[in-house]
Amino acid sequence: MTDFAGALRDEPFAPEVRASTEVYRGAVWSVREDRVRYGDGEIVRQYLDHTGAVAVVAIDEDGNVLLIQQYRHPIRQRDWELPAGLLDMAGEDPMDAARRELAEEADLVAASWEPLLSIYTTPGSNSEIIHLYLATGLSPADVAFDREDEEADILLAWVPLADAVDGVLEGRFRNGILASGVLAAERRRSSPERQHREG
């Protein structure tokens, strides 16, 4: 087996798109159908054409991470998630969008913001990329936001980061963005300790 030693990475690949048609326009995103030259032939693919999104791993001074619970109709569940939202304002910087979402969904502001990671949520069926940020130095926002629809009955919970990771690994939390965020945050927070132990 070849040892790539961290050299593997996703890479751009842009075969010729012979035709691209919007077959459905929704309130939030659209469905697109592309005819793509691939190899010696052609493939046809339909996918959600997504604006992209942001999510926030907000951790307080005691090492607790903020989780929110809200109803998600496609899975018919109230799942636990991170504060998150769409990149649906033209020209908005993703970190500014993350600040906005933390205030809108949790009535919080953060003194410190760091990029954590970016992931494609379901690349076989949609173009969504989500940028996750680590937010610390939390305090209440000056203004509380009015929430409606599924956001009107959001529940908030502060959970020790290690317990959130356990919830992911035990299958109690199955939201992919939550899983990616808390696993990355735990890794980042433990790295200095690990380097010290190994040094």
Candidates 151, 170, 186, 198; catalytic one: 151
Cβ–Cβ under 8 Å, residues 71 and 78: yes
Pairwise CA distance, residues 82 & 80, whole Å:
7
Q: Does residue 151 have an active-site annotation?
A: yes
Q: 64-72 and 77-81 as β-strands: parallel, antiparallel, unpaired?
A: antiparallel
Tokens of 120: 């494609």
Q: Which amino acid is at 68?
A: I
Q: Write down the residue that tokens 């132990």 correspond to.
A: 197
Pairwise CA distance, residues 108 & 98, whole Å:
11
Phi, psi of 102 (to 5 degrees): -65, -40
Q: CB-based contacts of 150: which residues, under 8 Å, 6+ apart?
A: 70, 71, 72, 73
Tokens of 33: 């159908």
- Catalytic annotation, residues: 151
